[in-house]
Structure 1
């Protein structure tokens, strides 16, 4: 079994706690479904959020999905002029038999524009 990194991002329409929890849960679930993963496959997840998001920790959404014993961390995204607002990103390290080339990264909603080269994109709009 190999260790692989899976990336993803989602953009929120507004900075509310309920919306944050909904969008991050959708992102984590999409990563899991697209790669055939279950919670026990995850080694850790690092979340970042842009500085305009402060209503809730993104990791809390993963905790609500059953990630109770998976190390999770939240950090602030770099503030680069002109960067996309209201974005939560994740990088998860997982154990999987999938070759690196078959890992599916998930970029949802407005964040689908961030890495069209890396992922199948899903708008979910």
Structure 2
């Protein structure tokens, strides 16, 4: 089965090093919690809010072992008034044996506010 794995995080400042560090942490956690191998990934979409332009979050994937041929793309998040600022979101699509309710979606920092229903399952 092909399924989507969601995640999001925030940064404190619009700095490339911070964008890269938080994105890497997020990707690693999604992959580890869901036992995903690079070969099983169909594609990964990254979105950022308008206040983030210091770096491409997808660049992190190019630096990860085994991710050379994983298709990745960055895009802008819809600029909705009062939405969460400085936010990086990810949608990873991969083959998995997990059922829909077994998938671990990952939210860090202020992005926990986006899906408190999912983060409570993890005891966050």
Shorter-chain TM-score: what band? over 0.9
If the length of structure 1 is used for normalisation, what is the TM-score?
A: 0.92
Gaps of 5+ in 2: none
SS of the residue corresponding to residue 61 of structure 1 reads helix
C-alpha displacement of 1:121: 5.7
Change (3 A) 1:122 1:94: farther
Structure with the bigger percentage of helix: 2
If the length of structure 2 is used for normalisation, what is the TM-score?
A: 0.93
Structure with the bigger percentage of strand: 1
SS of the residue corresponding to residue 43 of structure 1 reads strand
Aligned match of 1:16: 15
Taking the TM superposition and a 5 Å limit, the aligned residue runs for 1:57-76 are 57-66=56-65, 67-76=67-76
Query: Residues of 1 paired with 2:11 and 2:43: CA distance?
Result: 23
Query: Residues of 2 paired with 1:6 and 1:89: CA distance?
Result: 11
C-alpha displacement of 1:118: 2.9
